[in-house]
Structure 1
């Protein structure tokens, strides 16, 4: 059960017995596991000990890897599972199966989907960090994750596992959150409640069967597998630290988190917005506009919610904010079926045929709070029969509306400003039904050309089809019609359903009025009319043909008996992607959408040639126990550009016990189909507050905010409170760019491997890494754009900010947006040091007879820098996120991460393992004009409650029992101490449930039981 062991040199006795193998990062078979680039390895046993049914959960616990999309993402979930090495992005991490690349996992998020990989068929996982483009092609800038499958299994193996989360709700971290939830529950018990003290949920089940058989003559082998997996959901309401969306404390309770929420509430949030609704120049509270017109709008200014007895009452955030957290999924439910087969057959001495076929069908549901009216309706007709007389009078209908019409404030005395925010609590939460069906097949021939020379020719095809259905959302078109109501014969009737003779338009006879002004007024018929499914379909296809030759040249230097090894070949790859949204998606007709989803289709293809060599320099010399150099080169020809990638490396062992290694590589990543061809359209990004909003600000509003330019607001707009979105979501314009160039990266590794002869079964590797990416395909970032404009007066950045002319806002369907399209920006840079250590000892060697043995393994990473350069050329255009989280830095980037495992193999066929996972402290990132980040303080100079996430430690325990030669039982508990996650109001779209569950254990302790039987 070795965990995260490095690929290391073996001792001389072992080396002589090893067959030639291919390790990740090279096509040249080697007689030992020595590489010039560091490779970290985890084994299939680790999957059993960790109790994971999702392989991304295992890989992302390595210090080099960060989760991207996974099961804890609900708002914005693609349904895929991806991994990001060095936190440089999933698209910069190449995922392989048996050394051959996986295709795009989704037409909405271009990265390999780890859901396609059957966990019980994984023999080991090799992680090579640093550039590997010269060997594998584009996308390997951050490194490679290579899943090696079991191929020579014979017999039948059945594996089953059951697991669940258990959590005790006794959160006692910063913020006194339980007290705040209890206070809000007393005011609004229908939406706020503390969960039960002890909860058990998130049950997981998996069942896998593997069958293998060899031919009688030993020439062939076939392995087949089938598997089923399901995971139950976890709701945020069932954890006390996620039962409400927290906000930063203020006022009389500076040490207590507030329960935030959304003004789009169950009772409704009705406001006038304080603006002219006809868009004409004139009455705008500015003197001298029109001498004949009063400067003050006679219509009332209001912020109402629905009251008792057909009335409106003032909206009270404490009482009326909608708690959107409880119905959000903390863990998405999923169900997956996998099956496949792989085999090989020795046709003759020169030809071996091989094939690998894989299939998976995966479905998951992403759930967030109900949809509703999010400001899409901005006026109401005064003769609307759904309004009571008191309600109509409260919003200015009657004499005030007539006066406003006569003075030019409105165009129709019967239509007054009335912006609606109202949650569709009757229709239930929004759900995205995500389904992926994946096919992957490889066929090929390999064999010997002549002694010492071998060939490998293969063709590979992979295809993913997807259907995404969004349910319980409103059609904006139908919503507006259902609120535009008149009386026909005393019956409330949609204007669009009434005939022209009745005063209507007759355009939509099916329309049903939506009565949100009377308790219980919303009918099922109205919901059936307004709620529409939104359907998105798509596919990705990858086709690859590869031919490679590896061989022994027979050439050797006088100082070594080993000979020059080479590999060379050619490869052709085509990636195709298509995305087909229905009309509701493409026209942004879903009320809860962040923007329209536009159809996209396109492909990229590349023809490549590659070569590789490994030249031994010395063996058993007085100046070197061993030494060698290696190199690789690849030329890639795309439609619009060509790219050269290369690598050189060296290893040197002055004595048998220690080996030094180094490599330098030039890597590239070509723009993918989405980056090139995605149509431009609105999307959402997370931000604490609008920098130009005055209320609640901890610092003065920047002077550049106030003015009449499109990126500026008036003083009144700044003070109105309408610039901030309580949900922390703002608009930006996203889209592709067909003129993108490839990214380039320089990667350096320097390391040492120590295997002391005086301490058998111990090894230690220490490796320095540095990755520098230039011309990164990225956006400058919407928040970076705001900072550049308002803090640095950058004219180019300001020109990309388009605020709503009337309100100044950057959120909501009528808000402005920030242009943030794909470009080749400055780049990224990261560096640090990886540590790997393993040790095994028989306790008899320590004088303890009959007590079994101990095995220890350790992997850790010290992060030195994680730099972003937006390319804007300002002082704060370059910032280092090492040790920071939030805002520009996203998920936490601790300076130190490690995993350590101790396993005791007892004399009673039981192995007991304990694993210690550690994350060092991180600090909340606030980017300043000078590029510094450590400014997480409140207006009074005190620290924000979430300024620091303390160092986090987790303890996992597991045991396996070899009951019989053919039966093994296993059980374990992860996060034994049920440690609560650190909390922040600023998790935004990068996190979920007030924290970052991709990094920290947010669900509690996980308990699992499993059995493996072999026949």
Structure 2
């Protein structure tokens, strides 16, 4: 059903009607609005795995006047997981990390703090492919073009995790793909981080499938706090500084934070785990890997199309009139990782501000904003467009005579004529490594009001404007037009074999710019009403109702130009691809808190029983509507045992980038594809290989992803200071949007049948003419006309095509996961100080993946690209007289390397255990000049453990460790000093 205009108009009137009904039915003898509710708002928190003994809390003063209570109520943030103020979340497990615990980790940003939680995994997504949104350089994190970060709860994919700031949605980021940046706010501005680890679409709408992360900002602070930090490891250094200032008055307050961070680059070649030559680790020497080769002198490539590659070094000299006999077998190899940034140079500016003003005893207004500007610059071996391989057309004075047939093939850059491929040293030929810049700027401003209404009802209303501008492709004057370069080589004006750098005039002929800028805009209007309805024997039945109207838009500027590859006169993307897509979402939601039993009722084995029921309706302007309920219950048996459980449905709407082919779509025309399908209706271009028309990218036919989640758990407090918790959870995640694994389509008769919906045979006539769709097989012509691609890459030409392989995003996968979470925390005081012992462990019991409807369900748990079943973090801490020490142990369980190097067996990757140590010293605020000082030293991976060697091959890429489950940085030192005034 398409969204109706009438629904939008009725959102406000619906909320007003619900409010009037609630006020009319509220008990006449209700308490005054200033009376405190029966329960204090706050998460029923299960401590995070990294709980330290709380170091000295940041020094802050708040108003001592009677206005303090009113101000705190006006600024109250609704607890994560519920829309009802004054009650604890019911049924769901909540992890809360307070400010003292955040500081004790010594980590520089909120993303790194969240990475310590065992429920966070770093695999690409539930489908085992796609971008990995870890902060790093382009060369190290394929698919993450904008160099962003995101959190992946449960390993079900970053898009299944909803990120909030103070309970409110934030603007998405990204160009060709959309995600929510996890480093939303400076760490100095954060009061706490709350994580709900189950579905919450009934409360928040889209994306809350595997859980919700909420950054709660600091609201009350008087004075100034200045902090400096430095983090260093064996490869690079990262430093930062922040300042926070706050002031309170009788009826309001303001607090502002600014943070700056600078990171040095890190060449991949510095680490033996990242080099192409992996022989010292028992792997291959991949400096020459088929057509990908690093060389110090020009080298002719011989091979392809079923012929194994070989290489021949071209002799020094003018390079004209060469014959194949003058070449030397082999190549002078270099390791390209010496020029690739694993982590690019980065600078980040962040700011946050919160302002509150009470207008009366009942109403207050607030303004909240946060801002991030990040610049990342990554270097890579080879030009951003042509790499380090040049095309020498037949007829050029540099064409090598007498070369074998495997060194000569038709090429689109030569107008379909014959050509040879030559690898060169790009540092010399192009004047240095290719540089990709990825600026990102994000701003969010929220203004609103809170009010106390009659009969103890509360009003929350706010409006948010947010904007993210980023650059998915930013190659300014460093992008080579392959056709223009080949034309210059053909004319003899550029010598591909020269060891002398080209002149500016020569570069100007074929160098240009390739940019893709994306602007994501978000408007959000929300009104919420909550309060008591009437009194039950077990307490007050409380309700929340509300409505939301959200608008998302992505504006893409300067995308690709299909004529670029074929036009040697066009060095820039002269045709601007102005893509504007938008979406409006209207929502209505309601929630009831139902106290069934209270302690005063003296029910045996039932100190209390509370139920929470929520429902949300979302109507999208572009694909329809969805309704999602959730119900939770908490049964407190006695002072020792509490039992909880929840059930609900969740969904994720396709991102605007998922459904817009103008954002990203690519056709590779005439790509040879291994064909073992046994299908007689699919011909061969040469033995064992069919020529394919491979279509990739966005899909206009996508529908929402859906999930059903439930959990059950128990909290036990057997003695003072000790709390034990356990939770079983279960998630079925269906209609997942994935890019099907095109490598499987024709790999066997069984797979050809399974993936038949993505395979279309083509039989071009003998009269077919490349570039003339009227001469193609009508099946191919209709498909191209119906699905025009933004990027067209001709390989063998349209007339060679035997099959269409549709590998666009599709609602194809279903994931099932269930598991157990365990937490333990014990606090005690002694003559020797305060002691803290804690731990958090996650055990995934099962994870199966059905990659396509009707296909088999595959057990993917504990395999490469997918979640590892065992993860844990434990802690022992001590503090006394301002001194604190924390020792953490981190554990990742064993799993199987299921993508070993070709010809090698699958192997078991052992578990990985590391230690972290944190030391702090705080001087209480007083009259001394040193008062308010806090010193911190944190050492991650205290024993300096290297990751396990994990040799893999994915396509033409090799690797020696698994970045999802380990890191290569070794021992990391973090120093912090903070002064509060």
Shorter-chain TM range is 0.7 to 0.9
1:662 and 2:692 matched: no
Aligned-partner SS, 1:676:
coil
- Aligned ranges for residues 769-848 of structure 1 at < 5 Å? 769-787=729-747, 791=751, 793-794=753-754, 796=756, 799=759, 814=795, 818-842=805-829, 844=830
What is the rounded CA distance, in whole Å, between the counterparts of 1:779 and 1:69 in structure 2? 17
What is the rounded CA distance, in whole Å, between the counterparts of 2:211 and 2:326 in structure 1? 57
**Does structure 1 retain, via aligned residues, the 8 Å contact 2:358–2:365?**
yes
**Does structure 2 retain, via aligned residues, the 8 Å contact 1:893–1:922?**
no
Match of 2:591 in 1: 612
Q: CA deviation at 1:703?
A: 4.5
What is the rounded CA distance, in whole Å, between the counterparts of 2:226 and 2:49 in structure 1? 27
Cα-to-partner distance string for 1:338-381 (whole Å, 9 max, x where unaligned):
22311111101221111101122111123322127469876623
Match of 2:453 in 1: 449
- Aligned ranges for residues 139-538 of structure 1 at < 5 Å? 139-166=207-234, 201-215=235-249, 217=250, 219-244=251-276, 246=278, 256-262=283-289, 263-266=292-295, 267-271=297-301, 303-308=311-316, 310=319, 312=324, 319-321=331-333, 323-371=335-383, 373=386, 380-382=393-395, 384-386=396-398, 391-394=400-403, 416-426=418-428, 427=430, 428-467=432-471, 468-471=473-476, 472-485=478-491, 492=492, 513-520=493-500, 522-523=502-503, 525-538=505-518
Q: 1:425 to 1:409 in 2, by over 3 A?
A: closer
Q: CA deviation at 1:120?
A: 1.1
Match of 2:9 in 1: none
**Does structure 2 retain, via aligned residues, the 8 Å contact 1:396–1:416?**
no
Q: CA deviation at 1:644?
A: 0.5
What is the rounded CA distance, in whole Å, between the counterparts of 2:165 and 2:698 in structure 1? 29
Match of 2:545 in 1: 568
Q: CA deviation at 1:715?
A: 3.2
What is the rounded CA distance, in whole Å, between the counterparts of 1:259 and 1:646 in structure 2? 53
**Does structure 1 retain, via aligned residues, the 8 Å contact 2:745–2:755?**
no
Q: 1:6 to 1:904 in 2, by over 3 A?
A: closer
Q: 1:129 to 1:745 in 2, by over 3 A?
A: same
What is the rounded CA distance, in whole Å, between the counterparts of 1:684 and 1:883 in structure 2? 34
**Does structure 2 retain, via aligned residues, the 8 Å contact 1:600–1:678?**
no
Q: CA deviation at 1:542?
A: 0.6
Q: 1:770 to 1:154 in 2, by over 3 A?
A: same
Cα-to-partner distance string for 1:693-716 (whole Å, 9 max, x where unaligned):
xxxxxxxxx843797825x56437
Cα-to-partner distance string for 1:590-642 (whole Å, 9 max, x where unaligned):
99999x99653201111111000111111222230111111100111122411
What is the rounded CA distance, in whole Å, between the counterparts of 1:235 and 1:989 in structure 2? 23
**Does structure 1 retain, via aligned residues, the 8 Å contact 2:391–2:486?**
no
**Does structure 2 retain, via aligned residues, the 8 Å contact 1:375–1:813?**
no
Q: CA deviation at 1:797?
A: 5.8
**Does structure 1 retain, via aligned residues, the 8 Å contact 2:275–2:337?**
yes
1:750 to 707, 712, 727: 712
Q: 1:34 to 1:647 in 2, by over 3 A?
A: closer
Identify unmatched segments of 5+ residues in structure 1.
8-17, 167-200, 250-254, 276-283, 286-300, 486-491, 493-512, 693-701, 724-729, 927-935
Cα-to-partner distance string for 1:839-876 (whole Å, 9 max, x where unaligned):
1122x3xxxx3x2121122112101223222224233x
Q: 1:820 to 1:544 in 2, by over 3 A?
A: same
Aligned-partner SS, 1:29:
coil
Segment drifting more, 343-352 vs 864-873? 864-873
Q: 1:268 to 1:313 in 2, by over 3 A?
A: farther
Which structure has the higher relative contact order (CA within 8 Å, separation 6+)? 2
Say what the alpha-carbon RMSD is for the aligned residues: 4.1
Match of 2:15 in 1: none
Aligned-partner SS, 1:637:
strand
1:860 and 2:841 matched: yes
Q: CA deviation at 1:986?
A: 3.1
Match of 2:42 in 1: none
1:41 to 75, 79, 96: 96
Aligned-partner SS, 1:526:
helix
Q: 1:39 to 1:910 in 2, by over 3 A?
A: same
What is the rounded CA distance, in whole Å, between the counterparts of 1:74 and 1:1009 in structure 2? 28
Q: How many residues align?
A: 842
**Does structure 2 retain, via aligned residues, the 8 Å contact 1:245–1:324?**
no
1:27 and 2:79 matched: no
**Does structure 1 retain, via aligned residues, the 8 Å contact 2:209–2:650?**
yes
Cα-to-partner distance string for 1:791-814 (whole Å, 9 max, x where unaligned):
5544616726999999xxxx9862
Cα-to-partner distance string for 1:900-939 (whole Å, 9 max, x where unaligned):
111111x34210111111101111236xxxxxxxxx6965
**Does structure 2 retain, via aligned residues, the 8 Å contact 1:245–1:325?**
no
Aligned-partner SS, 2:658:
helix
What is the rounded CA distance, in whole Å, between the counterparts of 1:732 and 1:463 in structure 2? 34
**Does structure 2 retain, via aligned residues, the 8 Å contact 1:124–1:148?**
yes
**Does structure 1 retain, via aligned residues, the 8 Å contact 2:533–2:540?**
yes
**Does structure 1 retain, via aligned residues, the 8 Å contact 2:173–2:470?**
no
Aligned-partner SS, 1:642:
strand
Q: 1:874 to 1:385 in 2, by over 3 A?
A: same
What is the rounded CA distance, in whole Å, between the counterparts of 2:263 and 2:761 in structure 1? 43
What is the rounded CA distance, in whole Å, between the counterparts of 2:153 and 2:242 in structure 1? 29
Cα-to-partner distance string for 1:198-247 (whole Å, 9 max, x where unaligned):
xxx321111111111111x2x10111111111111111111122232548
Q: CA deviation at 1:681?
A: 5.6
**Does structure 2 retain, via aligned residues, the 8 Å contact 1:987–1:994?**
no
Match of 1:695 in 2: none
Q: 1:317 to 1:352 in 2, by over 3 A?
A: farther
**Does structure 1 retain, via aligned residues, the 8 Å contact 2:202–2:614?**
yes
**Does structure 1 retain, via aligned residues, the 8 Å contact 2:188–2:257?**
no
Identify unmatched segments of 5+ residues in structure 2.
1-44, 52-71, 123-131, 770-791, 926-931
**Does structure 1 retain, via aligned residues, the 8 Å contact 2:695–2:806?**
yes
**Does structure 2 retain, via aligned residues, the 8 Å contact 1:6–1:40?**
no
- Aligned ranges for residues 680-719 of structure 1 at < 5 Å? 692=674, 703-704=676-677, 709-710=682-683, 712=684, 714-715=686-687
Q: CA deviation at 1:748?
A: 0.6
- Aligned ranges for residues 917-996 of structure 1 at < 5 Å? 917-925=890-898, 939=903, 943-944=905-906, 947-965=907-925, 966-986=932-952, 988=954, 994-996=960-962
Q: 1:587 to 1:524 in 2, by over 3 A?
A: closer
Q: 1:998 to 1:228 in 2, by over 3 A?
A: farther
**Does structure 1 retain, via aligned residues, the 8 Å contact 2:165–2:216?**
yes
1:53 and 2:108 matched: yes
What is the rounded CA distance, in whole Å, between the counterparts of 1:904 and 1:302 in structure 2? 63
**Does structure 1 retain, via aligned residues, the 8 Å contact 2:679–2:749?**
no
Match of 2:154 in 1: 86
Q: CA deviation at 1:64?
A: 1.4
**Does structure 2 retain, via aligned residues, the 8 Å contact 1:248–1:985?**
no
What is the rounded CA distance, in whole Å, between the counterparts of 2:563 and 2:207 in structure 1? 30
What is the rounded CA distance, in whole Å, between the counterparts of 1:1010 and 1:57 in structure 2? 16
